[in-house]
Amino acid sequence: MSLFDHFRKEEHPFVERALEMLLLVEQRQTMRLTDFLDPRQFSIFQSLTSQVADVRVDGRGGYDGAERVRALLYPGYIVPEQDDFKLVLVQIKGDQRFVQLSHRDVLGALLHIGLKREKFGDILMDGQGCQVIVAQEVFEYVRMQVTQIHRIPVELVSVGWDQLRIPAEQRAEKNFTVSSPRLDAVVGEVYRLSRSKALLPIRAGRAKVNWKVVDDPAYMLAPGDVVSLTGFGRFEVYEMAPTARSGRIRIIVGEYM
């Protein structure tokens, strides 16, 4: 069995690049830093350490529990420091009395200047404003280019990590019953889509379960799964249990706000 048999076909290019980086660290005994990775990509790096000798992978995104992290690959004898991850905490300053910026507004403005999503970590929104974690090597460019978001003049300022504000995660709880915990059935209930309308984006590769693309509508979900559908949002499956009489399954999910 080939190493690539453990990964989906569309993940193969990423797996190849990740393996090349790990082999380079092994051969040259030096550190390498990635761009920001989602949890699935980070788990791929971790799984590939079995293919090299004494190379370690550490991921940091600015705070414990960060979703997007930069991975540092290094020989086992090296002890990495926080500065090795080259992260900048950026405060977005602007008058939001009349227009409240959304996560989508901020991400759109960041991508509009021609950088990849991989140069930005988590975007943190709370009642006091917005912060974003940025790769150090692009911060000055981002600071100069992003001067307006959704018609609001803004200033991007690097601040100390002691000013980090981690917003409380907000989710709307929903519960419903389905005949089976198939991906298309659950997605349809959460987003109020008909079966046919739920099938299309799934088969088009727009659904992810635990940050891994799943294009099989019959994929069976389980408690703890995090599901996202491009253009609709994301939710976590909290509980599922058969109902007493009908044989249907009651499911409770938390939809990210």
Domain range summary for the chain, segments of one domain joined by +: 3-81, 87-163, 171-256
For 91, residues 6+ apart whose C-beta sits below 8 A from its C-beta are: 129, 130, 131, 156, 157, 158, 159, 163
Residues of the chain with pLDDT under 70: 1
Distance from C-alpha of 119 to C-alpha of 242, rounded to nearest angstrom: 44
- How is domain 171-256 classified at the CATH fold level? 3.10.290
The pLDDT assigned to 4 comes to: 79
The pLDDT assigned to 15 comes to: 94
Tell me if 251 sits within 8 A of 177, measured CB to CB. Answer: yes
The pLDDT assigned to 222 comes to: 92
The pLDDT assigned to 8 comes to: 81
User: What are the tens digits of pLDDT across the range 118-170?
Assistant: 999 999 988 778 999 999 999 999 999 999 998 899 999 999 999 999 988 77
Among candidates 213, 168, 210, 171, which has minimal Cα distance to 190?
A: 171
Token code pair at residue 133: 């974690």
The pLDDT assigned to 257 comes to: 75
Q: What does pTM read for this prediction?
A: 0.83
The domains spanning 87-163 and 171-256 adopt the same CATH topology: no
For 163, the 3-state DSSP assignment is: helix
Residue 182: DSSP 8-state: B
Residue with tokens 């635990």: 210
Token code pair at residue 126: 């709370």
The pLDDT assigned to 128 comes to: 79
Superfamily of domain 87-163: RRM (RNA recognition motif) domain (3.30.70.330)
CATH code for the structural domain at 3-81: 3.30.1370.160
For 118, the 3-state DSSP assignment is: helix
The pLDDT assigned to 3 comes to: 85
